[in-house]
Amino acid sequence: MHALESERNWIEISLDHFIENLRELRRFMPKEASFMQIVKADAYGHGAVEIAQVAIQEGASMVGVANAEEGKLLRLHGIDVPILILSPSLLEEIPSLLKYDLMPTVTERRFGKILGDVAKEKGKCVPIHVNIDTGMGRSGVNYEDSESFIADIQKIEGIYLDGIFTHYAASENDPAYSSVQLTRFKEFLSRLSELPRWIHIANSSGLLNCPDDVSNLFRIGLLSYGVYTDVSLSEKVHVKPVMTFKSRVSYVNLVRKGESVGYNRTYIAPKETRYAIVPVGYADGYDYLLSNKGTMLVHNILCPVIGKVSMDMTAIDVSSVTGIQPGDEVIVFGNDHREIRVDTLCQTYGGSPYELLCQTGRRARRFYFQKERIIKARPLARREFVSSDYDSGELSKVIEGAIGEKIGNREIARLIFSTVLQRLFQEESRPLFHRHEFYHRLSFSQPKDEKLAEEYFQIDTELSFKKHLQNDYFIIACASNEKELEAYFRREDVEYRWLLDGSLHLNDQTFAIRSVRVDDLDLNYESRVSETCLELTCTHEKLHQLVGKHVSFTINTRTYYPKASHQLTVYITGLTQGAEISVDYHQVVPSMDVIPFFLSGQPNIYREEGAIHLITPANEWLLPGSGVVFVF
């Protein structure tokens, strides 16, 4: 998880405040009613995916977006409640509506007809909502002639009417006009013979100011983000800001009396004044109109903006802050302190809190807090994909998604991802060290011990490769069952693994080390044996000097293998570049077959009298899971 310390400016999103606000607002809804969380414009700059997820947990029946693209994003992130597109859709968006199962708002017969035709062709029936204009004067079907519109829409095959709504023009401060709109809407509804499942009217301030007895759904936006559309609303409900925009002092300086600060000399110091530069400008969303008007909070003291807000910097008067230093935290806005609440700040320059929230954070990372802990960090809103923006879990989703997009199948993408990539990274990101100049030779012979010789071959193995040395020790493991062996595959400190046949008793005779070397050091080894595994820890007092270096490993062992099994498999367990695997059987086995299974590249096979060599080019990469079966 990203640490805040490395950020110049950042956004904190309090999911606790969001949840508290939703619970406050729900108190105003009738018991049987539900709500639609409005998450258009990336949830007013709060992050559509995260906000939608929490709202759904809190009981949202639906989410509202501005267009098909926003809906698609939610679907790709697994949001599965109905998604309503609030604005009229374009004909060009129809394929997307169908593909991602999005509900459009229909305000034209022609659009409804074309949508229905396309849907029918695909064997679908798309739910739609109709927006009735009762005085908002924007989009929507005029309330006076909408009865016939509804009737016509209901006749179209391939679509069905799931909801009817209207929208207040000034629910935050014009109750008289809102009541005119409500009356018009109710009259219109009363003329319909049948109502669809959802009737909705109010946005968040409408919920508080304009109670009605017809709606069963509320479209909740700004108030849930803890910002008031009108000061009067703060008397009805207490909501807490969800977003806080923070930064750090990047520079502290003095301006002499009569000198100016910033472009066009709009601020002239009335006396010698200490000021700080905050690395936030209008490019970060801090509105240009806050020049000489805004206020920021440093060490809990209000500091006025002086001079013009620049593209990347803003100066604040810090004369009343003692001990200020570069690096000190600055609350740019959003916190519950009255003066720097988004709504208050917007009043100072006649701006819109909706706009200020939406435009914030163009250059800031977002951090989600729940119960005082960062639970998620979202990358910068870049246009280009930068893989290091993502933590490993998120990156895995991106990779899997990219494979899915490429092959058009999410299931197969998951399979490919888990078999190839998860195997390499073993569930998490870690440095991936590879082997090269890999050489593995197995020599079959008759055991000296006559009893063993009846049923077993003696197998001498020689293994050598070059690799980055990670620790001042490593482990060679021999297990007597697959499950134990599996555990050793997951460990990074194991360099060699062998599966001993279950008929043999595991000890340092049945699996013996003949020599272990790293470069020219002869390693010591200590063995630990249990019922099912023999673990050899290899060390040398000088080995620590080689940690982090590229070294040559040589591991020679002797073990036994049942004659009756007639086959022996050798795996390449790590990412390897260039390999030679050889088997030498001339003393004991009349003939041997070889079946290579290489996930990438194919080895050249050379046979000689009593020996086989599989060789891949020195620079060819081999994936783990590759190997060869020798059949005798």
Min CB(66)–ligand PLP separation in Å:
7
* Percentage helix, strand, coil for the chain under 3-state DSSP, each rounded to 5: 30, 35, 35
Segment interacting with ligand PLP, rule: CB under 6 A, options 213-221, 297-305, 436-444, 481-489 = 213-221
263 is catalytic: yes
CB 496 within 8 A of CB 513: no
Contacts (CB under 6 A) with ligand PLP, residues 27-46: 38, 40
- Given the complex with ligand PLP, which of 219 and 246 has the nearer CB atom? 219
- Report the alpha-carbon distance of residue 262 to residue 214 in Å, rounded: 55
CB 514 within 8 A of CB 461: no
Min CB(32)–ligand PLP separation in Å:
20
Q: Is 318 exposed, middle or buried (0-12, 13-18, 19+ CB in 10 A)?
A: buried
CB 84 within 8 A of CB 129: yes
Token pair 């310390």 is found at 5
- Report the alpha-carbon distance of residue 216 to residue 164 in Å, rounded: 11
Binding characters for ligand PLP, 225-254, by CB under 6 A (x = yes):
----x-------------------------
Min CB(198)–ligand PLP separation in Å:
13
Q: Which of 67, 178, 181, 204 binds ligand PLP (CB under 6 A)?
A: 204
Contacts (CB under 6 A) with ligand PLP, residues 545-604: none
378 binds ligand PLP (CB under 6 A): no
Segment interacting with ligand PLP, rule: CB under 6 A, options 9-17, 215-223, 287-295, 466-474 = 215-223
- Report the alpha-carbon distance of residue 84 to residue 105 in Å, rounded: 7
Phi-psi region of 427 (alpha: psi -120 to 50; beta: other; left: phi over 0): left
Give the type of residue at 461. Answer: T
Binding characters for ligand PLP, 157-196, by CB under 6 A (x = yes):
----------x-----------------------------
- Report the alpha-carbon distance of residue 57 to residue 51 in Å, rounded: 10
Min CB(200)–ligand PLP separation in Å:
8
From 251, 257, 263, 549, active-site residue: 263
209 binds ligand PLP (CB under 6 A): no
Q: Give me 555's structure tokens.
A: 């591991």
Min CB(350)–ligand PLP separation in Å:
18
Segment interacting with ligand PLP, rule: CB under 6 A, options 54-62, 200-208, 415-423, 505-513 = 200-208
- Report the alpha-carbon distance of residue 563 to residue 590 in Å, rounded: 13
- Report the alpha-carbon distance of residue 420 to residue 190 in Å, rounded: 61
Segment interacting with ligand PLP, rule: CB under 6 A, options 216-224, 298-306, 334-342, 396-404 = 216-224
Segment interacting with ligand PLP, rule: CB under 6 A, options 142-150, 220-228, 312-320, 549-557 = 220-228
- Given the complex with ligand PLP, which of 161 and 255 has the nearer CB atom? 161
Min CB(175)–ligand PLP separation in Å:
15
From 40, 113, 376, 467, active-site residue: 40
Min CB(400)–ligand PLP separation in Å:
33
Q: Is 173 exposed, middle or buried (0-12, 13-18, 19+ CB in 10 A)?
A: middle
- Report the alpha-carbon distance of residue 358 to residue 352 in Å, rounded: 10
203 binds ligand PLP (CB under 6 A): yes
Q: Which of 52, 210, 222, 297 binds ligand PLP (CB under 6 A)?
A: 222
| 3-state secondary structure at position 597 | strand
- Given the complex with ligand PLP, which of 38 and 243 has the nearer CB atom? 38
Min CB(23)–ligand PLP separation in Å:
16
- Report the alpha-carbon distance of residue 504 to residue 529 in Å, rounded: 14
Neighbours of 258 (CB within 10 A): 10
- Given the complex with ligand PLP, which of 215 and 576 has the nearer CB atom? 215
Min CB(155)–ligand PLP separation in Å:
26
CB 253 within 8 A of CB 315: no
- Given the complex with ligand PLP, which of 222 and 518 has the nearer CB atom? 222
221 binds ligand PLP (CB under 6 A): yes
- Given the complex with ligand PLP, which of 39 and 161 has the nearer CB atom? 39
Concatenating the DSSP letter of every residue in 72-119 gives: HHHHHTT--S-EEEEEEPPGGGHHHHHHTT-EEEE--HHHHHHHHHHH
- Given the complex with ligand PLP, which of 38 and 479 has the nearer CB atom? 38
Which residues have C-beta within 8 Å of that of residue 52, sequence separation ≥ 6?
37, 39, 43, 60, 63, 74, 79, 81
Segment interacting with ligand PLP, rule: CB under 6 A, options 199-207, 459-467, 493-501, 609-617 = 199-207
Residue count, binding to ligand PLP (CB under 6 A): 12
- Given the complex with ligand PLP, which of 229 and 273 has the nearer CB atom? 229
- Given the complex with ligand PLP, which of 40 and 365 has the nearer CB atom? 40
58-89 CB burial, b ≥16 within 10 A, e <16: bebbbbbbebbebbbbbeeeebeebbbbbbbb
- Given the complex with ligand PLP, which of 224 and 310 has the nearer CB atom? 224
513 binds ligand PLP (CB under 6 A): no
CB 225 within 8 A of CB 25: no
Q: Which of 219, 248, 308, 540 binds ligand PLP (CB under 6 A)?
A: 219
Contacts (CB under 6 A) with ligand PLP, residues 54-93: 86
Min CB(48)–ligand PLP separation in Å:
13
- Report the alpha-carbon distance of residue 536 to residue 475 in Å, rounded: 6
- Report the alpha-carbon distance of residue 267 to residue 291 in Å, rounded: 10
Q: Give me 329's structure tokens.
A: 């935290």
Nearest residue (beta carbon) to ligand PLP? 221
Min CB(172)–ligand PLP separation in Å:
8
- Helices 48-57 and 15-26: crossing angle, nearest 10°? 50
Positions marked active-site: 40, 263
Q: Which residues bind ligand PLP (CB under 6 A)?
A: 38, 40, 86, 167, 203-205, 219-222, 229
